[in-house]
Chains A and B, each alone.
Chain A
Amino acid sequence: MGVKLNIAKYFEFLYNKVFVNIVSTRTTSTVYMEMINSKGVVISSVDKHFKTLELDSKMKDFIEQYTQETPFYYISTIDSSPLQWATSEVKNVNKDKNSLVRCYENSWSYNIANNSMEEIIERYKDIGLDFLFSPFSLLAYFFKEKIDGDLAMYVLVTEDYLTLTIFENSKLLYSKQIETESNNKDYELHHLELDLSTDEDEEDGFADIEDIVDIDEETEESIDLDDFGDIEDLDALEDIEEFSDDKVEEKVKSDEKISDFDTDYRRFTLLQESINNYYQDSKYKSDFIETIYIADSVGVSGDLKKYFEEELFLDVYVRQLDLAYEICDMAKMELK
């Protein structure tokens, strides 16, 4: 077995490595593929969006198209389930038989429920999984140069969930995994409508966030036009000046802003509740949080920043993040 491993290590220099990084929301999946040579230089990268959570034949074919090129391929994903948490404990963390624990630099630990992990492994059983990351470790890795500083809150904003941590000098004080309300049935219905209207998946470079925004725009647009259709039944639209084409476009843009406003406000509300919990819970030291670092993977509007600044008087720093790219980066780190 050892000999076999050594042979594989020896041949590793002859092959390129392929990192397959899968980021799933409740209804869509993004696959980011990166091929590097033996020196670690990126040869090619591509990403593709699939309107399915499960590993369907299209996604499998797309992934196998690249993984068949080399035996050294690594499939990574991030756990987006709410059944995960992080604690400041590092001792006796392995006592819980219902969850799996990993320690981060021996200063704090993050957990995943066994059934949640089994569900993810089962989902990708046809292609297998090499790395399964936690959003807590990703957040800490993304802000690794910040968490060893003063007390601050760190938030990972994704489409489906918010990962919140509070660190002071690399010590974890508080953590929470929060599902956002955007995962409600209406949201899924909008995506279902979009699936029916779109025949082919689109393939491009690093335009995930823009695409998601575009999808939202299209969805909102279709809703607005339907709404106008209802009005048309009641009144003659062409006779009413307020419902001319220019006015409709302005109305759509206005509704988009309202939608972003709603989503960001929802996120702000959830985070505000968590901060209040942190302040009110007696088991936490509850020092005043002055700074919040936001890892933004969805493209939050400036409103979110404004809410924190104006209502909680926090210094807000927003840093853009591509989840799939970060997972890829972490997978590379794991192999070093």
Chain B
Amino acid sequence: MRFSYIVPRKKTVLSSEVILLLTFFSITFLMLFFTYVFILFKDYQFTSTKKELAIKKEQLNKNIDSMKSKILFIEKQQALSERIYTKNIVLKDSIKNMFDLVPDRIVLSQVHLLENGLIFYGVTPTKDVYNFMLNAPLKSIFHRTYTSFYPTKGGWLNFVSKNYIDVDLIESANEEDVDDES
């Protein structure tokens, strides 16, 4: 039932002080909320970045391992090449020395280089020339030397000289040297 000419004013529990207080708390709450959301976002961002970095790290580790293996392989190759190079140099020097050993009067037709030995094929005017001028140095170098001759049509002698170094003897000699030094 309406008796009054006018309608009552809208009543609110929010006085100006309460509105001020609520505004303050709302702003504070919103700031906290946005900070929380920002932290959550950053946390998510960091987590995803961390995962990406972990994957990258794993990939890099794999790459490093691969590189390491490659480096190792290359180092081995390098060492092998160096060894081969050294061996070749040594061989070259040995061959040079070997050819220096050969006197002018003896003509070599073939030379077989073995791992522990050397085989000469050639022509000598005489056995003596061979024995004195080539066989003597060969004997001083190799442990065992076997030579066979057979005559040619021109009166010279073809020869085959097989020379071997006993590795066991060298190793034992080296061991003895080490023992002596110690």
Contacts and interface: CB of A to CB of B under 8 A. Distances in A.
Residue among B1, B4, B10, B15 having the largest count of chain A Cβ atoms under 10 Å: B4
B13 interface: yes
A117 B5 contact: yes
B153 interface: no
B4 A132 contact: yes
B88 to A, nearest CB: 96
Interface string B5-44: 1101111111100000000000000000000000000000
A334 B13 contact: no
B11 A8 contact: yes
A104 B3 CA distance: 7
Nearest to B8: A130
A52 interface: no
A132 B9 CA distance: 12
A: contact size bracket: 35 or more
B112 interface: no
Residue among B1, B5, B6, B9 having the largest count of chain A Cβ atoms under 10 Å: B5
Contacts of A4: 12
A133 B11 contact: no
Interface in A112-136: 112, 117, 121, 128-134
A128 B10 CA distance: 12
A46 B11 CA distance: 23
Contact of A8 (B1, B3, B13): B13
Contact of B5 (A11, A112, A138): A112
Interface of A: 4-5, 7-8, 11-12, 15, 71-74, 76, 79, 100, 102, 104-105, 112, 117, 121, 128-134, 137-138, 141, 330-331, 333-335
Interface of B: 1-6, 8-15
Nearest to A131: B4
A190 to B, nearest CB: 32
A222 B125 CA distance: 184
A129 B5 CA distance: 11
B12 to A, nearest CB: 5
Contacts of B10: 5, 8
Given A105-B1, A333-B1, A131 B12 contact: no
Contact of A334 (B3, B9, B14, B15): B3
Contacts of A73: 11
A231 B5 CA distance: 54
B3 A137 contact: yes
B6 A72 contact: no
A133 B12 contact: no
B5 A102 contact: yes
Contacts of A334: 1-4, 8
